[in-house]
Structure 1
Amino acid sequence: MRRWMGIPVAAVMLTACVTINVYFPAAEAKEAAKEFVEKVIGDDVQPKQPAPQDKPGGQSASLIPAPRSLDARIDWLALVGIGSAHAQGQPDITIKTPAIQAIQARMSSRFDSQLRAHFDSGALGFANDGTISVRDAAKIPLPQRVAVNQAVADQGRDAKAVYREIAVANNHPEWEQQIRAVFARQWIDSARSGWWVQDAGGGWKQK
């Protein structure tokens, strides 16, 4: 009887292990998106966080370990054979493959040479789906409209390609939509003051 009772418990443990191993690392994806987006936009440096204040005796605040509870020190999942995500060595989201960096270089060059001025004028904006949109075509000089529209289309095509490439490069093609959502949020977060961004409902607002 006891032998059979152990089977459901083992099944639950196995399911928990599988669930932990395939979780989407949202925090790591956000850091990767920020690095990628800032390099593409790249006209100024985001403000750095202030350095931690030194404590008496020469130790900085960040170097003094915070007390941890007994629960924090014990990896309870490890006790039953299920490692935590960090213990299992969950990788960060990589954006350093040649294919990803080639797309990034194209997007950065195109943004500087063909798109930035039209973000500054208010003609273009970051859409809520991770692409760029022509918000006000009247603000684009008539002789430039064909070239700008083509640049917007090319930038959107590269954006979609890189979301897919990042998912594949990290061995989880099923993450593509989640990566796209993280990047969509990051383009908007990284938009400079005065640029236009689209909210979740499709409306436009100026930062």
Structure 2
Amino acid sequence: MDTSFWKPVVLSVEIASVSSVCVLLLGLFFGRLMANREFKGKVLVDTLFLLPLVLPPTVVGFLLIMIFGRNSPAGQLIEWIFQQPVMFTWWAALIASSVVAFPLMYQSSRVGFEAIDRDIENAARVDGANEWKILLFISIPLALKAIISGAILSFARALGEFGATLMFAGNIPGKTQTIPTAIYVAIDSGNMELAWLWVISMIVISFLMLISVHLIRT
């Protein structure tokens, strides 16, 4: 297999890996926060966090363009700091993948934290443990299966992201062209052999990810 096959594969795995780390940290933070708090409007916040899961990818891509595009305040600030726009860059692909993968990590971690017996955490507080130690040594280990499942599903979702990435990051070979966008181009150009190789690779990776989640939960 030549570099035309491996470049999108390596880039996809790279973006999905970094994205998984980002959504893991954010998912743990917000999952823990939402599991332990009751406040007015919690349902609205929870719905907002899960919204990218059901929105069409093109809608997510459009919103990212509106938020981070060159005409937006955030986009202009980024361009002023880094001397280049964020759109059509590696970072744009990372942002798009992270946004669509975050709900899976958030939902899994929240469910995992909600399943923890609060008496165990309260007992640790009585013994003098601070919130950081409770999170690190009690809450996360008890919710570990849900957290790992969420991380695997988030990786798979980031790896397969297409619509938002195409709109926000483009399809630049060697820079933002991931496996899903590469498949689209290969089919459009009639290179079915290369398209099949990428499709098979995605099926195998996704299958292994889902099997891993099933084994962890059982």
TM-score normalised by structure 1 residue count: 0.34
TM-score normalised by structure 2 residue count: 0.33
RCO comparison, higher one (Cα < 8 Å, 6+): 2
Q: Which has the higher strand share?
A: 1
Q: Which has the higher helix share?
A: 2
Considering only CA atoms, is the larger Rg found in Structure 1 or Structure 2? 1
